[in-house]
Structure 1
Amino acid sequence: MTTTTEQLSATTLLRFATAGSVDDGKSTLVGRLLHDSKSVLTDQLEAVEHASRNRGQDTPDLALLTDGLRAEREQGITIDVAYRYFATARRRFILADTPGHVQYTRNMVTGASTADLAVVLVDARNGMVEQTRRHTAVAALLRVPHVVLAVNKMDLVGYEESVFAAIAEEFTSYAATLGVKNVVAIPLSALAGDNVVERSAAMDWYGGRTLLEHLETVPVGSDPRQEPARLPVQYVIRPQSAEHLDYRGYAGQIASGVLRVGDAVTVLPSGRTTAVAAIDALGTQTDVAWAPQSVTVRLTDDVDVSRGDLIAAGCTAKAPVKDIEASVCHLNERPLHVGARVLLKHTTRTVRAVVEDISYRIDISTLERRPGGEGLRVNDIGHVVLRTAEPLALDPYADNRRTGSFLLIDPADGTTLAAGMADEPFETVRRAAEAANEEDWV
């Protein structure tokens, strides 16, 4: 099996998340996107039409395509993250429709954590509000590469270009203070279908792409050839048959970069160096593999490798550490306090850890630091210092979202407590803003 430059660069899947304040029209936008792109099954559409008639509505309420939970329908809001899968002729999509309420910040973090793009909705009548800033800050914290400002309900402001331009300018300036550079603003009406899939005749002053056109063409991910290779070992394969007696392979999904036969690699945390002898993908040998392929790698030397180890490119990989500084979003109703003993799951490795310090909490609306002495409560985002029982090979989250992230788990019952991002990524955002001579936030 061989590869080409086109294969390495090809992107067929876009993960994106929607966010916005309550009643900005997120669910209607998603429903319109699914409906107008012909991604809705006939029976689904009939069910929506039936439910809409029961509510006394003359036209289908497309928001019902995503608001699937009964409690959400009764309240008329989206509470949980609603995932939808659809495809067009040009690309496949995984969409996460995240809630707008401030108390569900953790849900937005969950939905945006793996996103390549975030769609932030703004009601054209209200402009930017506190939740707009909050959602944009979370997207910056999670290093979402692309942000779309969707100025919705343009039909309710007479499709005025000046309204759109003012909101777009304010949002772009604010996003720049957070280090978000790839911002595209699109005026639309989810209810009427303007600029969602079809171009709007009422906004001929807008010459850009529709939302779907942008989603289909936005470049996703960096070139894997420019990233350091990382393969977390999921499973050690040792066939017991006589013909494969000497076979020893290390299976997992490549988190980043490219692995080639002959490449020098380091096994972490042991630090042993060796080279790639062979790569098996889908039962066939290949000379090269890249993220996010699942492969089995064989090494030239008989080194000790087990589940949880990390095979990293080169002979000078970053040394594993036991002391970790990170930003975390607390996801559990149980508070997190200094001294708490937890399990830390990083890629395929889980180790014991203790919370040595909670330096501060971050007010996501103002980006100010608050004292962390009282611990972190649900939806809080803060900076912590952790001490692990065994060394971990973490990359800075700003450099690698896969190998720079981790989970904190309650060792008593296995529930997830918090999601972490190594090396204080929010501080990077703050320093970038200060370097740009923006206002001091702290």
Structure 2
Amino acid sequence: MTDAPDLLIRAADLSAAGRPGRGDLLVRGGRLVAVGADAAEEARAGAEVLDADGLVALPGLVDLHTHLREPGREDAETVFTGTRAAAAGGYTCVHAMANTTPVVDTASVVDQVWELGREAGWVDVRPVGAVTEGLEGRHLSAMGAMARSRARVRVFSDDGRCVSDPVVMRRALEYVKAFDGVVAQHAQDPLLTDGAQMNESALSGELGLAGWPAVAEEAVIARDILLAKHVGSRLHICHVSTAGSVDLIRWGKAQGVDVTAEVTPHHLLLTEDLASTYDPIYKVNPPLRTAEDVEAVRAGLADGTIDAVATDHAPHPLEDKDCEWQAGAFGMIGLETALSVVIRTMVEPGLLAWADVARVMSTTPARIGRVEGLGRGLTAGAPADVALVDPAARTPAGEAPRWSRSSNTPYEGMELPGRVWHTIHRGERTVVEGAPVPREERR
């Protein structure tokens, strides 16, 4: 890496780095060594030049919530294919959720996932440890051993299931304090959502689909904010989807509780009306909500109540989605389209500037996940993790994501703004002109 020639990124839009107008970035030895007007002057002879005129430079995106399915469901996704899709979407680090087979509830499985990520080489893979053994909600997992593993796990979640027992949740919150960890809660009261298929509303009654009430999410969030306040621990709320949830998180922060939250791209754009198609491509957990809820989560992301955008990339093989609604699996893929959806829902309406996009999709997720070395943005000395995006590009209607093993995207047929043309991870270009570059061909 250190013997490679300098990489000089010329004339990129550096507004995400707090610098108005265009400027240069100099990459050397896997790090950014200069940002701005003096970068070209510091480049050594023989530097490789990448023309970024018309492209916005963002720090490599960090996803707090990715389902890579391996081990156990390699028919849907693998660490290799999932991280390849992540790189194509501008990501340089993903947190791999624990609901695999076997569950990531021991240091040995953590190390397996971490090593698969190193072998794939597209992005950094940070395994998320399960809160409870087997995601069963009864006994705490080996969180201490996972925290001491090579992957140094700091995020713990039973995502896909809620830690519904308040005693277990309290113990988990207390335990992670020892190593500055965070419990990421899937807020879903299981008793209030037994058999639920879509958002509970007049529409669910009309469609004859069992309703999923907003209070099932909000009640768990309220309880856990109070528990986190009581024990003085960090709490993270996964995939916030209702207006009431945003209000509760805003209240918790006002009380001084160390609570953070994420929203998915699909909850920023799509509404429950799509359930009228009975196409399970739109079936997701938590469900798509009302237009009023979409407006509320956008406002919450804009004002900082919601801290991050996380994909909840949930790949499924064709047979799990090409079926009737009730039999369909919950989940959507999103790594390749997340940034485009954020541009459409938040940047183009003026709710977020590019510096805000860098905050909610890179620096803050890195901070929440305690990802060592990341979270510094586009600054000299930071790892050379960069995504170069063409905001004027438009994805042709009908074009599906190309690099995930699964194809269960809700956006096929939509024209979305923005396209990632280059992703640079630790100084190596993993994506060039939108296509992932095999390791043996990289520089």
Q: Does the pair score TM above 0.5?
A: no
**Structure 2 length as normaliser, TM-score?**
0.30
Higher relative contact order (CA 8 A, sep 6+): 2
**Would you tell me which structure has more strand in proportion to its own residues?**
1
Give the number of the structure whose alpha-carbon radius of gyration is greater.
1
